[in-house]
Structure 1
Amino acid sequence: MAKKQKRRLFGIQGRLLSLVFVLFLVPWLGYTYVNEVTELISDTQESALLLNAQAIATVLHGKEELFSEHSDELRALKSGKSGYTAPTLENDITLDGTFDDWGEEIELSSTLYTGITPLFCDLKSDVTSLYFRQTLGIRNDRLFVAFDVQDDLVVLRDMDLKAVNNSDQLRFTVRSFNGDIRRYLLVTQKPGSMSVYLMEEDWETLVTGKHERDIQAYMKIDQGGYKVELRAPRSYASASSQIGFSIVDVDETEGREIRTVMTTAPGDATEQLSGVIQKSPGIAKILNSLEQPWSSIWVVDKNELVRAHKGVLQHSNWSESGSDAFKWNNLRTWPLLSSLIFELEELIVGDKTGFFEDYPQATEERREPIIARVINNKTPETKRRQSVDAKAEVVMAVHPVWSRNKVIGAVIIEQSSSAMLANIQKPLQTTSLIILAVILFIAFALLIFAYRLTMRIGKLRDATEKAITPEGRMRRQKLQFTSNANDEIGDLTRSFSEMLKRQSEYTHYLEAMPDTLAHEIKNPINVINSSLENLEKEIPVVKQSRYQERARNGLQRLGSIMTRFTEAANIEGALNDELRERFNLTHVVSSFADGFRMVHADNQFIINIPNKEIWIDGSADHIGQLLDKLGDNALDFGDPGTAVTIQLDYDEEDAIIQIWNQGPVLPIEIEGRLFEPMVSYRQTDARESHLGLGLYIVRLIAEFHYGRVEAVNRYSPDGVEIRVIIPMSLSRTLTHPRRPRLTMLPDDDPDSNKRQRYL
């Protein structure tokens, strides 16, 4: 069988696969397009923010009193004193303990107290059992305070006990402008409205024992603790007043001993009370009338101190209404694919729906180079910056505020790029999902097509190789499989089958040619031969003519040629029809050696045959024919007067027939072709023709017995050894005998039988 070619690294499958890779240029082009659109949107966003900042600055132009340096709030900021930050609330507050009406302020303006540095905490305190958040806000003429307390055990007031401070409680302290201090204790015996009492300094003695009506509070118990909403007069949060809060924790229902007291007063541990800072109410009122969704508006004075602030950079519903919801909907259908699309989308445009941290509501000053430049250069600017936690990009526009030809402050409008890019996120995901699905489908279809195409071509190749023997003889008149496909490969398959059919017919004609020639030439040869005999009878002197002798030799050569042709042509058919039988190879070789020695009595022979019987499967007659061919070759090529050795040997698996002579070695020119038909290196002899078919017949007989034949050059003395190796068991049949190849053994080989071997 012809040797199969190595698989090409860039065959049909590789080329189609490269085409698939080209398809992935489409997402890359989409990625480039998205980047350009993102850049355009960001530029548009900067321009829009700058226009909005200009509009707000226009409203503030000339209102120098709003930026007065003599306001109580500004004096507090300049003095560096800490205080509670109380933004203006947008909604009316209902005391119900739910915090639903606080809006975004409940998250953005809250302060977490964990008790790590409490102002008062006794030795038995377990600070890990109590922590809370506090949020302040101002609405109209009221101060509102929200507490979200996490307490492992909530203990309410026991009305059977006389003391009012034996349960979980809230302490509220107020210092008025004249220095008077009022202490309020807030407790309750059940969830709902809380009782408010005016207390002495020791927090144990009631001043009046009456409920205070100026302060109202509501408690709601939930999982893990409780919530309290408090409402007090706005005057308690004026610039001339100071306030302070403390959460008191009682964890025992029997002894009711106070376990933890945690204050919320900001600043140093020695400062119990602090003021409430509300920036500039006038500016805050103007900002509250504006609607700028997903934007943060800051107003600073010329000293870069924050005078008012409104809005947030991110909306709490983004993750629900944006692409997270889209992702969740698609996860139910294509979990892995949708997750992959979401990750790719984040890689392209970033996480546009995740939360990030930026300047808190309580920020008191904004000292940034861009703000200083706007105030000093009196020209508006825009900038893109990273958020405080570097998780998002923030676009900011700064515009100066004028009064009497001088800058008195600046308006800052900031917006996360997410606010704009979130609008294209869902279409981008949908488009990406569709493109990826189409590309994957095309890639899968192309790979299936390439696989089927290569399989069909490979099947056609294998069938074509099996239709012809390695020697070029036809095995089949058509391919083993047929194809009805209406494409080029189908046409090629049918063309190959038709070509094999025609080639088979022509090969059959050539194989029958020797018998036809023998039959056709036999009669003319007989006529010529009889004519020569009759001529010798009529003219006896013709017998002495050298022309008569040359005519006899020509007829003899012509007969020999026809005999050899017919023998080679008929041997394959005879072998195909031959029935195998098990026979004693030792007996066949021994009989041949005895007969051959008798026929060629003038030659010397060395016979080495073991006494053991060697049995093989095959045809004894054809083995005899093989030995006859090898014996004739050994005599023809051997030096006169030298011996021919005939030897039979065996090993555990094979029987080995060896016949060698002494004479010229095999030339390298016939390497790989010695056992092919029509190959001979004999000297030309006018009396006898040699067509090079003898060793070819030997090879056919050896392969019929699932064996192989080798030619070996021997040295000291020179000669040629022909070796036939036949397996003794059919379980080791050699379905593909190795073709001969000449290899050289070194001359200094210690083995006495130095040789060149055809393997």
Structure 2
Amino acid sequence: MLFANRRLRFRLNTQVLVFALVLVSIPWLSYRFVAESRVFMIEGQTQAQEQLARGIVTLFQGRDDLLAELPYLDSQQVVFSHPLTGQAKVDGYTNEWLDFQLFANHFGSGDDSEDGYSLLLGEKDDRIFGLVRIQDDKTVLRTKGAPNLDASDHLRLTMPDRNGNERRLVIVATQAGVMEVWYVKEDWATPQYRSPSSSFIIQAVMRPLVDGYLVEFALPKYFLNQRQEFGLAVADVDGEDGSMRHLKTLVGADTTIESHFNLLAMRAPEANKILSSLSRSDSQVVIYDNNLQVRASVGQVSPAKSEKVKPEDFLEGIQSWLNRGLDWFIAIPDYLNPVQAASQERDLLNRALDKKFASGRWHKGPAEQIFAVAAPIVDQEGELLGVVLIKQSTAQILGLQRQAMENIALLSLSTMLAILLVLLLFSWRQAMRIRRLGREAQQIVDPDGRLRTDQLYNEIRAGDEIGDLARSFSSVVARLHEHQEFMSTMPRTLRHEVNNPLNATMTSLENLQMLGVEEGQQRYIDSAQRGLVKISGIVEKLADAANLEAALHEDELEPLDLLHLLQTYVHHQNPSIRGGAADVVFEADQQSVLVAGVDYRIEQLLDKLLDNARDFRASGSLVKVRLYQQDYDCYLEVENTGPSIPPDLMAGMFNSMVSARAAGAGHAHFGLGLYIVRLISQFHGGSVTAHNLRQPEGVMFRVKLPILLV
């Protein structure tokens, strides 16, 4: 039963909180949608990768000539040469190279963008042509007859011959135009022969440029071995003493030209088109021969990662924090290390060597998944020519997912903040309206429980539910006020209506008595007259109590010497002047106490207090009236010995219709005396309280009134 009475109370703020929790679930649902979309996109990417593998197999199927054109890559860097058409001359001009400018290979030795060179290679009539554009802010030419060849700017060529011996060449210029080509020893400074190579075998021309110089050379193709390996480096000498500033190689600053050779591969037009069409930003296509030697590799699996920059402002900091949170959602655990990934690739390739289509997937990192497809390449007779391996990353899909998640998160966050702000403002406004309506409802009732007004003024013009509530409550207040007005006029109406039959009855009894009655009937007439007097007194008391508050509003407060008033009042109350004993004692320690009041209302207050004290005092005891002043207030006390006030009556004894007298005793009492005392006290700006006394037992009523400051 106790549990049934304890009902849950969902306040307005609780409802807003529940609604906010519902809003929080929206981003989670959006994330689930994006996650499912990622799975769908990955499956689509897998199918597209398989179709691409089948297409590549179809392109190379039966085309052993195309596979033969592809070089052996191994771990070396390939520099492709281009077929030159028309007349090829070594003259330092680029007319025959115009169609291949976009395919130039750019090399350098460091972070300095102004310190590098570009290389273009071409083939025509069993000769290899090269065009090198060097960036150099200071070109140092060789002094003719100088013993060392490395004291000036020069090019270094190294080419292993078919017997495995290395051939070292230095191309150096003494002036713009034709350059000298020297066979040198291992130190690259000492000539191997006394004179340079014949220009009929190796040709080289230098032409100065604004930001450096250009070198065009040609040499026989038989200088290269079967793998067509060669090495090229550009020596930049800036010091007057012949000190070298940089040695720019084709393979990087940490690799010497003697320890690493580049592969020269002829790029045929058809193979060029096929390879260029296979290039993708997020996938890698690797072509193997039937011995699993790499013949071509296009594209890269993972795009280059951008460097992380430190957030510069508050918004970028929020974006970085959001990215870390999204990484936690999107991250894929249990990824393979490079050795395990290589083992996976080897397994796919071995299955492809058995002329089977193989596919697999693994996680390269916490936020990247690799798809791999291996397909065999066969000829017309079904013999295995090679294997195509396609590896593709989900980095692009994950990037799109990250972007979508960022947009969803930012949009959801901003939307939720806006909605929550609106809800908070709405709930705050509604709560303020309800509180304002509650305060007004509390203020329309005075401490006595009576209505002060007949309507409400707040929210009665509002068109929502709160306005309906205010209007309904205002209508109830109006009806209650009307009933209160009716009840306040009821005593006066009753006095008028009751007095008429009472007067008629009294007159009839008097006339009956004058006509004469028997001796035994006189006592009945006397009893009837006493009853009528009581009824008349009751009606008068009810009317006086009802009219008192209205009468108080018509009275005007005036300066009044309360001490003189009490002395005069107590003097007239004592019956000693008529030969009786005095029953009221007055005590005061002041010369004069001025208050703002109405004298006859103070006397009316004293009448009620003395009547109450006389009714409840012990037989033969005195009633004490005391007056004293403290600070800015004066206190009027009426004290009597006798029974104490019951505790259950103490709280409401100053309300109307509350009485401690026994029913049927002597006169009729309706509990209006102390109620009138409270009204008169409040009218004078004071208050009244009751206190039980212990030694001796008794009751004291204390009236506090503010003194008048002159």
TM-score over 0.5 (shorter chain) = yes
Q: Check the 8 A contact 1:374/1:400 in 2, yes or no.
A: no
Larger mean Cα displacement after TM superposition, 708-717 or 648-657 = 648-657
Specify whether residues 520 and 146 from structure 1 end up closer, same or farther in structure 2 by C-alpha distance, changes over 3 A only.
farther
Q: Check the 8 A contact 1:144/1:232 in 2, yes or no.
A: no
Cα deviations by residue, 1:632-662 (Å, 9 ceiling, x for unpaired)? 2222222223343333344445433333332
Q: Distance in 2 between matches of 1:261 and 1:347?
A: 46
Q: Distance in 2 between matches of 1:227 and 1:580?
A: 117
Counterpart in the other structure of 2:11: 11
Specify whether residues 506 and 367 from structure 1 end up closer, same or farther in structure 2 by C-alpha distance, changes over 3 A only.
closer
Quote the offset at 1:35 in angstroms: 1.9
Specify whether residues 41 and 532 from structure 1 end up closer, same or farther in structure 2 by C-alpha distance, changes over 3 A only.
same
Counterpart in the other structure of 1:714: 693
Specify whether residues 256 and 32 from structure 1 end up closer, same or farther in structure 2 by C-alpha distance, changes over 3 A only.
same
Q: Check the 8 A contact 2:142/2:149 in 1, yes or no.
A: no
Quote the offset at 1:37 in angstroms: 1.9
Q: How does 1:386-401 map onto structure 2 within 5 Å?
A: 386-387=363-364, 390-400=366-376
Is the aligned partner of 1:181 residue 2:168?
A: yes
Is the aligned partner of 1:33 residue 2:42?
A: no
Counterpart in the other structure of 2:287: 299
Q: Check the 8 A contact 1:88/1:284 in 2, yes or no.
A: no
Is the aligned partner of 1:172 residue 2:159?
A: no
Quote the offset at 1:568 in angstroms: 1.6
Cα deviations by residue, 1:678-714 (Å, 9 ceiling, x for unpaired)? 1122212342111112222222233334433333233
Is the aligned partner of 1:568 residue 2:538?
A: no
Q: Check the 8 A contact 2:351/2:358 in 1, yes or no.
A: no
Counterpart in the other structure of 1:243: 231
Q: Distance in 2 between matches of 1:477 and 1:376?
A: 98
Counterpart in the other structure of 1:478: 455
Q: Distance in 2 between matches of 1:188 and 1:607?
A: 140
Among all aligned residue pairs of Structure 1 and Structure 2, give the percentage whose two residues are the same amino acid: 25
Q: How does 1:48-59 map onto structure 2 within 5 Å?
A: 48-59=48-59
Q: How does 1:316-335 map onto structure 2 within 5 Å?
A: none
SS at match of 1:559: helix
Q: Check the 8 A contact 1:374/1:398 in 2, yes or no.
A: yes
Unaligned runs of 5+ in 1: 1-7, 78-82, 115-128, 320-334, 353-357, 731-759
Larger mean Cα displacement after TM superposition, 172-181 or 197-206 = 197-206
Q: How does 1:345-356 map onto structure 2 within 5 Å?
A: 347=326
Q: How does 1:150-161 map onto structure 2 within 5 Å?
A: 155-157=137-139
Amino acid at match of 2:605: L
Q: Distance in 1 between matches of 2:216 and 2:698?
A: 121
Q: Distance in 1 between matches of 2:130 and 2:78?
A: 8
Cα deviations by residue, 1:588-629 (Å, 9 ceiling, x for unpaired)? 455544444568974655544332654444545434433332
SS at match of 1:640: coil
Q: How does 1:475-554 map onto structure 2 within 5 Å?
A: 475-481=452-458, 483-485=460-462, 488-539=465-516, 547-554=524-531
The count of corresponding residues between Structure 1 and Structure 2 is 653
Specify whether residues 297 and 558 from structure 1 end up closer, same or farther in structure 2 by C-alpha distance, changes over 3 A only.
same
TM-score (norm 2): 0.71
Q: Distance in 1 between matches of 2:118 and 2:285?
A: 20
Q: Check the 8 A contact 1:341/1:429 in 2, yes or no.
A: no
Give 1:373's match in structure 2, choosing from 347, 350, 354.
347
Is the aligned partner of 1:86 residue 2:78?
A: yes
Quote the offset at 1:511 in angstroms: 0.7
Specify whether residues 493 and 130 from structure 1 end up closer, same or farther in structure 2 by C-alpha distance, changes over 3 A only.
closer
Quote the offset at 1:557 in angstroms: 2.6
Is the aligned partner of 1:290 residue 2:277?
A: yes
Q: Check the 8 A contact 2:203/2:218 in 1, yes or no.
A: no
SS at match of 1:688: coil
Q: How does 1:203-222 map onto structure 2 within 5 Å?
A: 213-214=203-204
Is the aligned partner of 1:702 residue 2:681?
A: yes
Q: Check the 8 A contact 1:579/1:619 in 2, yes or no.
A: yes
Counterpart in the other structure of 2:261: 275
SS at match of 1:659: strand
Is the aligned partner of 1:622 residue 2:601?
A: yes
Q: Distance in 1 between matches of 2:617 and 2:82?
A: 122
Larger mean Cα displacement after TM superposition, 426-435 or 700-709 = 426-435
SS at match of 2:624: strand
Specify whether residues 381 and 620 from structure 1 end up closer, same or farther in structure 2 by C-alpha distance, changes over 3 A only.
farther
Amino acid at match of 1:375: L
Quote the offset at 1:674 in angstroms: 1.9
Amino acid at match of 1:157: T
Specify whether residues 208 and 457 from structure 1 end up closer, same or farther in structure 2 by C-alpha distance, changes over 3 A only.
same
Q: Check the 8 A contact 2:237/2:243 in 1, yes or no.
A: yes
Specify whether residues 677 and 259 from structure 1 end up closer, same or farther in structure 2 by C-alpha distance, changes over 3 A only.
farther
Give 1:311's match in structure 2, choosing from 299, 303, 328.
299
Counterpart in the other structure of 2:641: 662
Q: Check the 8 A contact 2:116/2:248 in 1, yes or no.
A: no
Amino acid at match of 2:262: V
Counterpart in the other structure of 1:467: 444
Is the aligned partner of 1:635 residue 2:622?
A: no
Quote the offset at 1:43 in angstroms: 1.0
Amino acid at match of 2:41: I
Q: Distance in 1 between matches of 2:655 and 2:175?
A: 115
Q: How does 1:705-744 map onto structure 2 within 5 Å?
A: 705-728=684-707
Larger mean Cα displacement after TM superposition, 429-438 or 256-265 = 429-438
Q: Distance in 1 between matches of 2:658 and 2:132?
A: 113
Specify whether residues 637 and 497 from structure 1 end up closer, same or farther in structure 2 by C-alpha distance, changes over 3 A only.
same
Specify whether residues 546 and 203 from structure 1 end up closer, same or farther in structure 2 by C-alpha distance, changes over 3 A only.
farther
Unaligned runs of 5+ in 2: 1-7, 85-92, 307-313
Amino acid at match of 1:101: L
Q: How does 1:91-102 map onto structure 2 within 5 Å?
A: 101=102
SS at match of 1:368: helix
Q: Distance in 1 between matches of 2:458 and 2:483?
A: 22
Amino acid at match of 1:38: R
Cα deviations by residue, 1:448-467 (Å, 9 ceiling, x for unpaired)? 65555555544444444433
Amino acid at match of 1:172: R
Specify whether residues 706 and 35 from structure 1 end up closer, same or farther in structure 2 by C-alpha distance, changes over 3 A only.
farther
Q: Distance in 2 between matches of 1:556 and 1:490?
A: 54
Quote the offset at 1:46 in angstroms: 1.0
SS at match of 1:689: coil
SS at match of 1:51: helix
Counterpart in the other structure of 1:44: 44
Cα deviations by residue, 1:206-242 (Å, 9 ceiling, x for unpaired)? 9759998547798775xxxx99999887968864645
Specify whether residues 456 and 366 from structure 1 end up closer, same or farther in structure 2 by C-alpha distance, changes over 3 A only.
closer
Q: Distance in 2 between matches of 1:38 and 1:437?
A: 24
Q: Check the 8 A contact 1:656/1:724 in 2, yes or no.
A: yes
Amino acid at match of 2:492: D
Quote the offset at 1:42 in angstroms: 0.9
Q: Distance in 1 between matches of 2:210 and 2:265?
A: 31
Cα deviations by residue, 1:94-146 (Å, 9 ceiling, x for unpaired)? 8999x99359x87xxx78747xxxxxxxxxxxxxx999788888777667889
Amino acid at match of 2:483: Y
Counterpart in the other structure of 1:125: none
Q: Distance in 2 between matches of 1:621 and 1:44?
A: 104
Counterpart in the other structure of 1:679: 658
Larger mean Cα displacement after TM superposition, 545-554 or 156-165 = 156-165
Amino acid at match of 1:156: K
Amino acid at match of 1:724: V
Counterpart in the other structure of 1:120: none
SS at match of 1:703: helix
Q: Check the 8 A contact 2:76/2:263 in 1, yes or no.
A: yes
Cα deviations by residue, 1:24-60 (Å, 9 ceiling, x for unpaired)? 5444433322222221111111122122223324555
Amino acid at match of 1:712: H
Q: Check the 8 A contact 1:146/1:229 in 2, yes or no.
A: yes
